[in-house]
Amino acid sequence: MKLTGSLYRSMALSGAALLNNKMEEINNLNVFPVPDGDTGINMSLTMSTVGQAVEGKGVGATADKIAGLMLRSARGNSGAILSLFFRGFAKALKDVNEAEADKVVESLKLNH
């Protein structure tokens, strides 16, 4: 199975939905230095724009579009950090139309 732009967009949408569903749980995880209670909200808002990415492009172009949308909509430190993770993944997949599993793993390793 290859990671295509359409599949990557679907995965990002699923991740955004899961973040939205688990928002309160994630809010409760952040207790240092103070329990500000907005980590899940900020991450969910940051990912809320991924649906605007157009289907049918290669995985590299789709990843770049999603990362750009997330960066522009990043909320708080947690949203900014999340968007940078997606930016690093997009950079590693630049100009890739479809990615085999080994390319995805390599891209994730580069993103640390």
For residues 40 and 27, is the Cβ–Cβ distance under 8 A?
A: yes
As a whole number of angstroms, the distance between CA 108 and CA 105 comes to 5
3-class DSSP assignment, residue 18: helix
Does the pTM surpass 0.75? The reply is yes
pLDDT tens, position by position, 28-86: 887 667 777 899 999 999 999 998 887 768 999 999 999 999 999 999 999 999 999 99
